[in-house]
Structure 1
Amino acid sequence: MDKQQKVWYITGASKGLGLSLVKQLLTAGHKVAATSRNIDELKKAVGEDLPNFLPLAVNLKDETSVKASVDATVASFGQLDVVVNNAGYGLVGSLEELSDKESRENFEVNVFGALNVIRTTMPYLRAQQSGHIFNIASVGGFFGDFPGFGIYCATKFAVVGLSESLAAEVKEFGIKVTVVQPGYFRTSFLTNGSLGVPENPITAYAAVRASQNAHQEGINGNQQGDPEKAAAVLIKVADAENPPVHLFLGQDAYDLADQKILTVQQDMDAWENLATSTAFEQVNA
């Protein structure tokens, strides 16, 4: 295998950022194993009978299914270099109106699906003492001031947190970890097929309904971010000698992150004297 050619394993690859990434990688000559719940949709989107392309039907909530796909990737391409946990979906609804089942399902896919992939791919990456894991989160995993997106933000905050710990855990094995926190990109993310809504909405939540309508009607289709450019950024980061642990994507992501940092700093400054007065009193002998 050419030294510059890598083997990528990408989840949620039949649309959006995942699909853009798969197509660019294949054009560049890389080998790509791509997963989707619907393999026919994936093949139709990418193409069939491509020598460097391995389409895989995977249920990310099923460890056996994930393991079979990872084993097939290594069996087909001989190694595994870059893992992209891209699969996930949005969920809008207040914390009160979203049911336990609706909330847990979002975590099952967005968080535990990624963990299933990480647990399954790590033995290969550890054995070869190299690799790069990209976990696709969201700026909503850093900035949570979005009415109606509490559960979704919670899943993405979880992805950011586990990515930071993972980066510290696998550093000794020569493995890199980058958590990607995009802003708004023009994909199908805000369409009915990718954005869940509560089965039993509560009309009293005016701010939540306004946020929901704004995302579904106003923002959807008008996002400033280009997924093709985002995919190109990820490929460049994968080639970097010292890739970042945190990668915010898009000017809007940067703006929201700056706003969050400023707000936290202001809260810390305003309450520092009281909040740091919590130590045991020093007793002099």
Structure 2
Amino acid sequence: MSTKKVWFVTGASQGLGLTLVQELLKAGYRVAATSRKAAALREAVPASEHFLPLEVDLTNEESVKQAIRETVSHFGSMDVVVNNAGYGQLGAVEELTDEEVRRSFDVNVFGLLHVLRHAMPHLRARQSGHIFNIASVAGYSGNFPGWSTYIATKFAVVGLSEALAEEAAPFGIRVSVVMPGYFRTNFLASGSLAQPAHALDVYANVRESSAAHTEQINGNQPGDPVKAAAVLMAQAEAPKQVVHLFLGEDAYARAATQMKTVTTDMAEVATMATATAF
């Protein structure tokens, strides 16, 4: 029997999730992977005793609970959880309906919470484990017109992960929030992007941002998803916990710019803003 760690990866039928699953299996790890359609996983990944494809609706807590139960039953344990599933909702704030915004949060935030809620008891019982919550550098630096809802979900994932890291640490569980830049996957060219149902002509900057992502950035992303997978695999084995894991030179550059912007804003109003005590 393999002594390699058992990984549980959501949103694994395409993009970074699929690449991660493929690289994990090459390295001899045991992997349970989820998708809305298990057939998509079976088509993308060859059958193996080390691979468990699972059809899961992340917005359905019982579906998530059952998937985690099957993983532990099949492999006998679960060591690393990767909350990778998600999609991008495009549209200016006033263009998006309540239904569109809530659907985005249901998948990107509440779906992730369903996984955490039912994975934590297993990891806590083992007094070990590593959780990777895949956010985005847009969850740290949010100045992308037309991506407000997506950005809001990723900011939520970052904050949630920071708190979870503190909650889980006493039980030997490590938590990392992953903030990638642009990686060359099919995220910008697939069903992972949703357009607003009622777009308004007044938002030229939103239309330009959308077109730039789908027509110019798509296919030219600087990041190699195989190398991103290698970083996650290395971090899962590393002795030191890294809570904030930026991925890609572009993510590092954007994060540095955001830090400088915040520092400048703070300095601009420091005297007035700190003179608020009784």
User: Structure 1 length as normaliser, TM-score?
Assistant: 0.96
Gaps of 5+ in 1: 281-285
Q: Within the alignment, does 1:70 sit opposite 2:53 as a pair?
A: no
Match of 2:7?
Answer: 8
Give the Å deviation of 1:2: 5.1
| Aligned positions, number | 278
Question: Between the two proteins, what is the percent identity of the paired residues?
Answer: 59
Please report the TM-score for the alignment, with normalisation by the length of structure 2: 0.99
> Which string of whole-angstrom CA distances, capped at 9 and with x for unpartnered residues, describes residues 106-139 of structure 1?
1000000000000010010111100000000000
Q: Aligned equivalents of 1:221 and 1:106: distance in 2? A: 24
Moved over 3 A (4+): none
Matched residue SS, 1:181: strand
Q: For residues 27 and 198 of structure 2, what CA distance do their matches in structure 1 show?
A: 47
Cα displacement (A) at 1:192 = 4.1
For 2:53, the equivalent position in structure 1 comes to 55
In structure 2, the partner of 1:104 is 102
CA distance in 2, matches of 1:223, 1:25: 23
Unaligned 5+ runs, structure 2: none
For 1:255, give the aligned amino acid: A
2:31 paired residue number: 32
Which whole-Å CA distance do the structure 2 matches of 1:243 and 1:41 have between them?
Answer: 33
Q: Secondary structure at the match of 1:24?
A: helix
Question: In 2, distance between residues paired with 1:87 and 1:168?
Answer: 23
Distance in 1 separating the partners of 2:42 and 2:181: 28
Cα RMSD of the aligned pairs, angstroms, is 0.8
1:200 match: 198
For the pair 1:23 / 2:22, whether they are aligned, the reply is: yes
Query: Offset at 1:246?
Result: 0.3
Q: Secondary structure at the match of 2:11?
A: coil
Report the residue type matching 2:152 in the other structure.
Answer: A
Alpha-carbon separation, structure 2, partners of 1:159 and 1:10: 16
Q: Distance in 1 between matches of 2:2 and 2:241?
A: 21
Which letter maps to 1:69? A
- Separation (CA, whole Å) in 1 of partners of 2:121 and 2:186: 33
Displacement of 1:243 in angstroms is 2.5
Shift of 1:191: 1.3
Report the secondary structure of 1:155's partner residue. helix
Which of the pair has more CA radius of gyration? 1
Q: Which digits, 9 at most, give the CA deviation of each residue in 1:65-121, with x for residues without a partner?
A: 001100000001111100000000011110000111001101000000000000010
